[in-house]
Amino acid sequence: MTKKILYLLCIFAALGSLGAQDKAEKALEIFSEKYPQEKIHLIFNKNSYIAGENIWFKSFVFDGYNLSSISTSMFVELYDSNKTQIAKEILPLLNGQGSGSFMLSENLKEGIYYIRAYTAWMSNFSEDFQALQQIVVYNPSSPEKLVLDDASKWTASVFPEGGTFIDGINTKFAVRLHSKGITPSDWNGYVINAEKPDVKITSFKGFDQNVGTFSLTPKTGVKYQVVLSDSKGNRQVVDLPYVADSGINLQVSTGNDAVKFSVKSKNIAPGTVYKVIGTIGNQMVFKINSDKILEKTYSIPAEQLINGILQLTVFDEKESIIARRLTFVQPGMLKIKKPVLQSMQLNESPRASNSFNINPEQNNNAYTVLVLDGSSENSEDENSFLSTLWLTGDITSKIYTPSQYFTTNRNNEALDALLISEIWKRFDWRNIMSRTFPIISYQPQPYISYKGKVSVQGKPASNTELNLMFEIPEYGTKLFQVKTDDKGFFTVKGLIFEDAIKFSYQLNDPKIPKEQVQVIFQPDYSFVPLKKSLPESNYTLVQRQSDDQLSEPVKRYLATKKTQASIYEKATLIEEVKLKARKKDKTKELNEKLSSPMFKSMNETIFDLVNENNSAQASMNILSWLQGRVAGLTIESSMGSYFPKLRGSNINVYLDEMKVDPSQISSLPVSDIAMVKVIRGYFAGGFGGGNGAIAIYTRRGGITGFTNDPKASTQLKQTVLHGFDKEAPFVNPDYSDQNFSTISKDVRTTLYWNPYVEAETKDQTGIQFFNNDDAKSFKIIIIGFDEKDLVPIYYNEIVK
């Protein structure tokens, strides 16, 4: 399950033989190996909605700083502000990515709603790390309307760097603002001695709505306070911590070249041994254990690390934590691959055609592309793909506009101050050192999995073979066989299908009448109830007055909603024509023709013997020809027969999707083979085959293995299994077609949405969209991820 993050470790060896304890290191190693942790970023087609509309979203699931391979399914739920669940879906995750949609009811009241997204594996950890996105939904027919809450009072907290405040040591403080509503953007403060309130010791101005900072050299016996005020005259007085007369203080400075730190001390006995451990995520990237630690400034080379939150923790000789600090690695040099847009043809005229090309990225399979009216807002404005990956995916406290810390005009000092006010919560050193690890109650299952129980006349059918006949549109009926255990149970794993699939079943024993056989199916997954309270919103509901005027965004949503039905109706026919006319890749077309849905996988390698791979014709056996062509695949021979293994484990061989003994392939002429695919891991056709399979398709069209009599299944008992929830199609109008000329008004804010634009490996990826009636600029958002270099691919700009 564990996928280790590839860091270039910067481990400083212990200075001398000091007999240091290593309880922390061993605990972290166990935690990192057994308890990897996922985080989710959600992107929406727009920022707010109106009742009766569709919500479209895209998800990226990360295991630390890499796309996750832990989970292949994601649960998504929609709640109202009273925590009443309105809808729920289960969606497939392909290479850590998924997409879906929710239809908002016409009768939905105006208010704040929440979309919760999580995986089964994430349910083993704190709910605070699950994605919980606030959604604004308008409805002019509701008796109440939403208004921003700018009247709630704000409070503040102060945090000394490293967590200690010691006599005579100059200490940096972070001041953090909190509010149920909105915190002020214009605020300042000063520090006083409580006994001399008229004398300002030091003054400062807040960076943003989250945080400000100041430094102070304290004296024992003095009670310090910070006095804060905003532009509206609101005032807060906050006590600073008690000044200790001894101890140590951890001080950190972060630059583009290195993370530097020093440990200052007061009244500490010389020769005391301290240990400092640096972690990114759940991985240790730095360690030093020394009795000289109080005498030096240490430097961790930043080029050997990755962008992310670095946690530095100071332990004493008993491995008790005495100081800790979070900082961000290379905040001034974010490692981001920016897509190159070429052949850009933009036209601000009403309903004009616009287009651009995206240069190919070698290590990216697909892009998420969103184009909006340049004057509109979107979900990336508040919490972006970058801020989830590097900040909010691991920090659970409320942060106003976290995306601001990763833009081109970002304030790195503000981000550093923010992290001074935070404590790492992905794990607690004390818990893992005492071997108090999370309780694993939910294991990730491969895609859709079902449990079944077979009984005959009410008694379990032990160790019995059961035939399952799936009715697949366009492919006929497909036969599979499973075997029950001692108690009559069996499991079907790795199913990938949408909506529902009909199938029939029969015991592989003609002596037992079908009327005596009963099979009960139960999903081998479950939605996990949300236990915690929903977060507070920046909005409040007030009574709607009869003379209230609708806001401009709501007017736009209403106008768009009226024409959307017409757009969908006209676009359906056009899209069908486009699909027929679209040129398809020959290998893809061959795969679509020969493979049934149950033999398709994201983890497949295809060899087209019709249009390419002419060298295969010279081989006497297709299995021997595969040797060396697929990573991890080995072909062993014995007495003239070939037996395939994938990463050392035996895998099955299928001929036209019927399981066969590998020895049977030796008599099959290669010239009769149209296509071969090597499938890694689970796939529906293998029913939990484990390591994968080799599927061989003959030039006869891949019909072998399907039942000859399409009516046979109707003679058996039938049932239905439910699969993944189907995503509603997002339709972009095509004004080059005259059918759209009757649309009277187009004020769409979302001009183009595609959660999965396949990246061309050689040619540029082309994007085309049509303007609305009044947009004068376009906001283009392109998101992907380079899995080789572990860096995000990100573009978010307004262009004209």
Count of CA atoms in the C-beta half-sphere (13 A) of 53: 29
Which residue from 521, 667, 675, 666 is spatially nearest to 599, judged by alpha carbons? 675
What pLDDT, in 10s, does the model give residues 419-436? Answer: 999 999 999 999 999 999
Classify domain 591-698 at the CATH class level: mainly beta
**Lowest pLDDT segment from 152-161, 643-652, 727-736:** 643-652
Helices and strands, counts by H and E, the chain? 7, 48
pLDDT of 10 higher than 50: no
In a 3-state reduction of DSSP, which class is residue 261? strand
Reported as a pLDDT band with limits 50, 70 and 90, residue 700 is low
| 185-228 confidence digits (pLDDT tens) | 999 999 999 999 999 999 999 999 999 999 999 999 999 999 99
- Tell me, what's the pLDDT at 13? 42
The domain segmentation of the chain, as residue ranges, is: 448-524, 591-698
In angstroms, the CA 241 to CA 248 distance is 15
Which segments of 484-555 are extended strands (E)? 489-495, 500-507, 517-523, 539-543
pLDDT of res. 691? 73
Please determine, for residue 514, whether its predicted confidence score (pLDDT) is greater than 80.
no
More confident residue, 473 or 636: 636
Instruction: Spell out the CATH class of 448-524.
Output: mainly beta
> pLDDT band for position 472 (50/70/90)?
low
Residue 477: predicted pLDDT: 62
Return the biggest CA–CA distance within the chain. Answer: 98
CA distance 242 to 222: 8
Kindly state the average pLDDT of the residues 534-563. 88
pLDDT tens-digit series, residues 57-78: 999 999 999 999 999 999 999 9
Q: Which of 38, 78, 41 is nearest to 59 (CA)?
A: 41
Q: Which residue has the higher pLDDT, 317 or 161?
A: 161
Task: Give the model's pLDDT for residue 7.
Answer: 38
Residue 94 CA to residue 603 CA, distance in Å, equals 9
Strands 297-301 and 258-266: antiparallel
The predicted structure's pLDDT at residue 690: 62
At residue 583 the predicted structure's pLDDT band, cuts being 50, 70 and 90, is: very low
Question: Buried b / exposed e across 735-752, counting CB within 10 Å, b at 16+?
Answer: beeeebeebeebbbbbbb
pLDDT at position 752: 95
pLDDT in tens, 254-277: 999 999 999 999 999 888 889 999
Of 35-44, 94-103, 604-613, 701-710, minimum mean pLDDT range: 701-710
